Structures are given as C-alpha cells and as structure tokens.
Structure 1
Amino acid sequence: MQVPEMDDKNKESCCLPLKEEFQRSKFSLHHEDPGVFCRSQWQKGERNLIWVLYRWILAAFFAAGVIGSMMQDFNGGRWFIFLTDWGFTLCLFTCTYGAVIATIYYFNPSYFSAGDRSLKIYWISHYTTSVLSMLITTVFWAALSNTMPEIAGELYNLWCHAFNSICMVFDCFMVAYPNRLMHFIYPFSVVLIFLVHSLIYYWAGGTDMDGNRFIYFALDWARPGLAIGFVCASLFLICCFSFVAFGIYRLRISMYNCCGKKQDETPALAPTQKQSSLTV
C-alpha cells in the first residue's frame, strides 16, 4: 500500500522558503496526517515491522542507560538535580512513547486521527529531546568535562553525554514528522525551567554530590556574573540547535526526494486495460 500523498507533501515542505517558518500558524501542533508520527521517512508501505522493532530497541537502549545510571549515581535523589539526567530521562520517555504509538499504528493504522493529543505530546517530546540532547552534549564537552575529568570516560557518562545526542540525531533522520522552527519554545522552556530550578536549589541550600553549593560549576549562583553568562549562553544555544534540528529535517527531506527522483528515472510499464481495471 502506498503512503498517501507523502511524496507531494515532502517536496512541498523542502521547497518552502525559510521565511514561511516565521508565522503564528507554525506554533501549532496540528497535523492532518497522523501517520507521519508513526512511520519512518524511509519505509515502504504504511506499516513496517522493522520500524517497530527499531523503536523498541532504541527504547530498551535508553532504559538500560537510565536504570544503570540511577543505580550508580542516585545518591539520595541528587540524580534528579542535573539537566543531563532530565535529558536522559526524556530520551527514555520519548523513545518508549514512540515505540508504543508505532506499535499501535502497526496493528491499527486508523487508530489515530488528525490532531490527536497523544501525537502532539510525541511531537513536542521528540523535538524537545533532540534539541536538548545536542545542547547537553555540547555544553558538557565544551565547558564542564574539564571540571570532572575523573568521570569523562565512564560508560554512563558517555551514555548520557554522547550516545544521547548521537542516537537522537540519527533518529531525526529516520522519523517522518515535519519540523517547525517555532517549536523552539518547547526546549527553550525546559532549559528555562531548569535554570530557575538551579537558582531555587541554591537558595534552599542544596548541594551537589560533592557537597558544593551548585549543580554545575558554571552555574554557581554565588558568582552571579558567571551564572548569568551561562544562562544566556544556554538559551542562545537552544535557539541555535533548534535551527540545527530544522536543518536536519530539511536535509532528510532533500535526501528522500533525491532518492525518489532516482527511482522515478526508471520508467514503469504502462498497465494494460485489464490491469487498470483491477487497480484499487
């Protein structure tokens, strides 16, 4: 079965000028084709078992990472104070959620309707997780890893500071849903909430695992100049990585269209009158 109108929609999306993204309507989470949240960009047909298995493998990968990390570094609940672990948990939630809706769609493609709330949640979570993963990886290796060299090479550190963004960026090339620049407000909001949380945690006398009065060295509110600089840099980077995520989407569509054009170069045999009458 051919996926309805996917080629036309993807070609249209690829050719839209960038200025079209800066419209109020682009904040919307409504999409007419619910299947784009349940399929891969690259699958043939409307249902694909390999795609469902891939989604569950990715969910299991992050489940193993999150559970192992919590067992190793839970430390009286301090595991939950770090943005890294917020992002790591979001990876688990997003991939598990995606596996569930892909499975439902595989067995019942008509289950979801246009604008389904559960698909809106997935759209927000996948986009937010992807952008946040890129931010976490970049900030850790650029600004924080030199303050904690003893853990930089540990398995769980690599899992949540490197494998997270590698897997999510790869997944951005695999999914079929569109990307909206105006959706930057969702990862932006998560980071803003975390920064406010870090300030409240400092005022409440909270400490990190080593007893320091900060969550991250660069986010030490006892030195407000450094902390505010880190806040501004983080919010700026979120906007930058939102553009990166949008660029990945445009690149994915371009790659898909290029592959489609190559397939179209092979002429198809015209159906006979009898074959045409049997075609649905």
Structure 2
Amino acid sequence: MVKIYRKSVSLSGLWVSTNERLSDFYASSWQRGESPLPMLVARLVLAGVAMAILLWSLIEAPNPYWLIYLTNWGLLLDVGMLICGIIVSLEVIYNKPYDIKELPWYASLYWAVFNIAITLSIMITSLYWLLLYDPNLREEMGARAFWLDVSTHGITSVVCLAELLLSRTPVRLLHLYQPLSMGLWYAVFSAIFFVVGGTDINGNHFIYDVLDWGQGKRTSIVVAASMAGLVIVYAFVWGVALCRDRLSTLLVRTTSHDLPAAPPDRHMGV
C-alpha cells in the first residue's frame, strides 16, 4: 500500500522496519483474503524467468569483467528481490508469524531490495535503449546476442513490473533514497574504476562510454541527469503502486475493521 505522509515524518518511516500489515509482503493485490500461496506461485515463476536470464548471461559471455556492468548489477538485484520474496512467502507458510508493525528481518530485506531493484531495472532499460543501443550493430551482434540484450535490458523490467503489479508491497516516497544511493554508489564505483586504471574487455579505461571520467564535465552531467532520472522512475513506480492499490481494493479486495461487539438491545432482549 502506498503511504503518503502529510503531517510528520518519523525516523522509523525512513527505513523498512515498520508497516501496518505483514500481509502486504506476501499476499497479492488481486486476491481476496491473505493466503501467501498465489503470490508464492507468481514469484516462483518470475524467479525462474529471471534466473534463466542470469544463467544465459553468464554462459553466453563468461569473462572476468561481467560484474563491472550496471546491467548485471541490476540482474543480480532482480534475482535477489524475487528470492527474498519467496523467502517471505515460505516463512509465512511454515512459521505463520503474527501480524505486527515491526517487520521481521526477511520482510525488511525484501522491501529494501524491492525498492532498489524495480527502480534500477526500469532505469537501466531506459538508459540502454536511449543512450547505448546501436541498431547498426544488430547484424554484427548476431541473433543470440541481440535477444540476450533484449532479455537483460527489457524482459527483466517486465519481470519487475509484474512483481510490482501482482504484489501488495508498499511503496513510500520516503524510500527514494534507497535507489538513489545505489545509483550514486555505481557512479562512485565507475570513478574509482577509472582512477585505478581499470579496463573493460576491450581495453577501454571506462565501463561505459557515457561514464568516461576522462571527460569529467560531460560524465558529471550524465550522472546528475541519471540521478534525476531515478527520481522520475521512482515517482512512476510510486504512481503505479498507488493505482494498483486503489483498483485492487475497489475491484477485488475486501476490507475489514475490528469493530467492538454491539451491546444487547434492551428493548428486544438480544
């Protein structure tokens, strides 16, 4: 459920440790009740797709430079998010924790990775197809490499959007700093990579041409624009979650309230 703070901001709200319902992390928006099974099945399917793309990427181009690319960071985060989600679902099934506002560690971990993975995945897809993809190289790449690119820079985002749309996972504007921190850390990593003389598989002293710190002014502008882009993407994720919650509550979910028992009617005697 999307949270909007109007009066005050608590420090606990900045982190991922409190929420009104634990069921927001294991139930689907599109089900009645709070059974963890529908979302568990969906996460198993999505995790299978994400894991297949990850293995394909590792097998297709095995090299020691695999971990320097933001795309692969995003891919690992996507798989990690879904594995964390599966752990949440399984914990609920086997341990049946009661609903408390102080979240168990596995729900907090899933929530943090969720905030980062979905935002970063959409951002990576946008940056790749807008800035890095060269249609003139498609024939040189070959069909397998092209479809691997489509998978790592497209299907992964579809998987993340499916998790966002199917789940009830809360999206809070206060958590914007989490994907921003990851994006900033990658920018710092690319700068350190350049300073220490790191090279990519082709011998270039940068990871991506747009992150060539030899052209510091241009790269700084790219980083600043990317941070602004992350803000826009996170706002989009927040908006999608807002629509998801309102539609699912209106069309599918029922709400319940803990009302006190009605007093006996003194006239009717019941």
TM-score (norm 1): 0.81
1:98 is the counterpart of 2:85: yes
Instruction: Classify 1:214/1:181 alpha carbon distance in 2 versus 1 (closer, same or farther; 3 Å).
Output: same
Structure 1 Cα separation of the partners of residues 34 and 94 of structure 2: 11
Q: Which residue of 1 aligns with 2:187?
A: 195
The residue type paired with residue 20 of structure 1 is R
Q: Which residue of 1 aligns with 2:196?
A: 204
Q: Is the 8 A contact 1:21 1:181 kept in 2?
A: no
Q: Is the 8 A contact 1:81 1:215 kept in 2?
A: yes
Question: Over aligned residue pairs, what C-alpha RMSD do you find?
Answer: 2.4
- Displacement, 1:62? 1.1
- Displacement, 1:19? 6.2
The residue type paired with residue 104 of structure 1 is E
SS of the residue corresponding to residue 74 of structure 1 reads: coil
SS of the residue corresponding to residue 23 of structure 1 reads: coil
Question: Aligned residues: percent identity?
Answer: 25
Q: 1:238 aligns with which of 222, 230, 233?
A: 230
- Displacement, 1:260? 4.5
Q: Which residue of 2 aligns with 1:165?
A: 157
Q: Is the 8 A contact 1:52 1:106 kept in 2?
A: no
Q: Is the 8 A contact 2:176 2:231 kept in 1?
A: yes
Structure 1 Cα separation of the partners of residues 70 and 174 of structure 2: 23
Structure 2 Cα separation of the partners of residues 192 and 202 of structure 1: 15
1:223 is the counterpart of 2:220: no
Q: Which residue of 2 aligns with 1:176?
A: 168
Q: Which residue of 2 aligns with 1:51?
A: 39
Structure 2 Cα separation of the partners of residues 260 and 44 of structure 1: 6
Q: Structure 2 unaligned runs (5+)?
A: 256-270
Q: Which residue of 2 aligns with 1:37?
A: 25
Aligned pairs for 1:8-157 (under 5 A) are 20=6, 23-25=9-11, 26-29=13-16, 30-75=18-63, 77-110=64-97, 113=100, 114-146=102-134, 149-150=137-138, 151=141, 154-157=146-149
SS of the residue corresponding to residue 65 of structure 2 reads: helix
Q: Structure 1 unaligned runs (5+)?
A: 1-9, 265-280
Q: Deviations over 1:195-243 (max 9, x none)?
A: 0000111111111222211101111111112211111111111111111
Q: Is the 8 A contact 1:145 1:152 kept in 2?
A: no
Q: Is the 8 A contact 2:36 2:92 kept in 1?
A: no
Q: Deviations over 1:120-139 (max 9, x none)?
A: 11101011101001100001
How many residues align? The count is 248
TM-score (norm 2): 0.84
- Displacement, 1:182? 1.3
Q: Is the 8 A contact 1:21 1:180 kept in 2?
A: no
Q: Is the 8 A contact 2:81 2:110 kept in 1?
A: yes
Instruction: Classify 1:258/1:44 alpha carbon distance in 2 versus 1 (closer, same or farther; 3 Å).
Output: closer
- Displacement, 1:259? 0.6
Q: Which residue of 1 aligns with 2:264?
A: none
Q: Is the 8 A contact 1:22 1:182 kept in 2?
A: no
Q: Is the 8 A contact 1:179 1:246 kept in 2?
A: yes
Q: Which residue of 2 aligns with 1:273?
A: none
Structure 2 Cα separation of the partners of residues 248 and 152 of structure 1: 36
- Displacement, 1:107? 3.4
Q: 1:258 aligns with which of 250, 258, 262?
A: 250
Bigger mean CA deviation after superposition, 204-213 or 247-256: 204-213
Instruction: Classify 1:127/1:141 alpha carbon distance in 2 versus 1 (closer, same or farther; 3 Å).
Output: same
Where relative contact order (Cα < 8 A, 6+ residues apart) is larger, the structure is: 2
